[in-house]
Structure 1
Amino acid sequence: MIIKQLNEIIGTQDDVDTLTWNSRRLLLKKDGMGFSLHDTIIKAGTETMIWYKHHVEAVYCIEGTGEIEFLKENTTYKIYPGTMYALNGNEKHLLRADKKSDMRMICVFNPPCTGREIHDEDGAYTVNHLD
């Protein structure tokens, strides 16, 4: 059994903070679950280009509002608490948080992340982090 508390993750190496997002990695590849679980903050007023070429991801919004724009389809969807989206086709997208508040998202990745991943110039996690 694995039990972790968010307050035990914050400020550790499993708390990855960037200019546009902050990912607190609760479960990682080393935990042996076959997926990783992240509590992620999308910072208010930011936009992040993301293209997970090597992962599928499911995301559930629990706080804040924003939108996701799928670039190939040129479609935009509002995100608010209770919204789930799944990136099951390696979709390139822009993720935006409204200016007034952060968005808090629960994210699941497959294959599982190792822990220190950040987006490369394409918006993807690099292949060498999959080992």
Structure 2
Amino acid sequence: MIIDRYCRLKIVTIADIVRQSRFWIVKQYRMIQPLLCKITRSLGIYDHCWTLVLRITDDSMCSVECIVHNNVLVEFLGCTVNDCVRLRETNDLRALRQCQSRATEMERIVQRMDLVMLVEFPPLYSSAPSIVKISNLPSLLSTS
């Protein structure tokens, strides 16, 4: 029963994605279960969006560097870049500390071993893959 739910998630390895991607002509979405996530570029701001770059490695021992999508970061942080700018302008230190605390917690969360990520892969690696959703395995297995 739980094995059936796991199979329905259609988790693939990075090695399989690398082999298949040379044939893609449009972007593809794949579920990956990383064993290791390393932050290669810390949380920052670019073009009014949050940015974070992770190197994810799975059980195929292949790795790929991915950009975490702004929407995922907004969901984790609970605020947009513009919200933070407004908080800074109004000198709302309590809210700014709360956002900073969430950012620190997010950096711990991405290092958990029970994560499953939905990643958008561009055709022929024309740009960096983008993590568009981060979930944990137990919650996915309980809902599928």
TM-score of the aligned structures, taking structure 1 as reference length: 0.29
Looking at secondary structure, tell me which structure has more helix per residue: 2
Looking at secondary structure, tell me which structure has more strand per residue: 1
TM-score of the aligned structures, taking structure 2 as reference length: 0.27
The structure that has the greater radius of gyration is 2
